[in-house]
C-alpha cells in the first residue's frame, strides 16, 4: 500500500482520509491481535528469531492479493469506475487499507515480542 497507488486508482476527497485512518487503525489492531499468542524464540546477539508456524501469513497474503486483484480487475474492465465517488469505492479503499495494515500490526507485535522474550541460543541455518 502506498499513497501513489491509492491516488492512481481512487479519487481521494477530504472525507476519504477518515476511511484510510480507520482502515489503518483497525488493520494494525487486528494484525497485532492475531499475533499476540504467537510463540517466538529469539537470539538477540545473533539477531535471529524463530516463529512457530501458523497459517496467518498465508491468510494475510491471500487477503492482500484478493483486494489488489479485485481493484485491478475493476480498473481494467471498467476504466475510470473507481475514480467516481461512491460507497463501493470507499469500501474497496477501506479493504485495501485494512488488508495492507494487517502486516504492519502483525510485524509490530513480533518486533515487540522479539525485544521482550527471554534469550535463547539459535543456530543460523
pTM: 0.74
Give the per-residue pLDDT at 72.
82
At 119, is the secondary structure helix, strand, or coil?
strand
The yes-or-no verdict on residue 60 having pLDDT over 80 is yes
Query: Between residues 120 and 19, which one has the greater pLDDT?
Result: 19
Query: Between residues 19 and 26, which one has the greater pLDDT?
Result: 26
Other CB atoms closer than 10 Å to residue 62's CB: what's the count? Answer: 12
The yes-or-no verdict on residue 10 having pLDDT over 80 is no
Enumerate the domain spans of the chain.
Answer: 3-116
The C-alpha cell that represents 1 in the structure block: 500500500
Going by pLDDT thresholds of 50, 70 and 90, the confidence category of residue 1 is low
Taking the C-alpha atoms of residue 71 and residue 74, their distance in angstroms, rounded to an integer, is 5
Q: Is 63 exposed, middle or buried (0-12, 13-18, 19+ CB in 10 A)?
A: middle
Give the per-residue pLDDT at 94.
86
Query: Between residues 31 and 74, which one has the greater pLDDT?
Result: 31
The yes-or-no verdict on residue 2 having pLDDT over 70 is no
Give the per-residue pLDDT at 125.
66
Give the per-residue pLDDT at 32.
92
Amino acid at each position: 500500500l502506498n499513497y501513489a497507488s491509492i491516488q492512481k486508482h481512487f479519487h481521494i476527497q477530504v472525507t476519504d482520509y477518515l476511511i484510510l485512518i480507520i482502515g489503518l487503525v483497525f488493520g494494525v489492531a487486528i494484525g497485532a491481535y492475531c499475533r499476540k499468542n504467537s510463540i517466538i524464540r529469539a537470539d538477540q546477539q545473533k539477531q535471529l528469531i524463530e516463529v512457530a508456524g501458523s497459517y496467518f501469513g498465508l491468510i494475510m497474503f491471500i487477503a492482500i492479493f484478493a483486494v489488489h486483484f479485485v481493484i485491478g480487475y475493476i480498473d481494467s474492465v471498467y476504466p475510470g469506475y473507481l475514480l467516481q465517488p461512491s460507497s463501493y469505492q470507499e469500501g474497496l479503499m477501506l479493504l485495501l487499507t485494512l488488508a495492507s495494515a494487517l502486516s504492519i500490526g502483525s510485524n509490530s507485535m513480533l518486533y515487540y515480542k522479539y525485544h521482550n522474550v527471554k534469550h535463547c541460543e539459535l543456530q543460523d541455518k
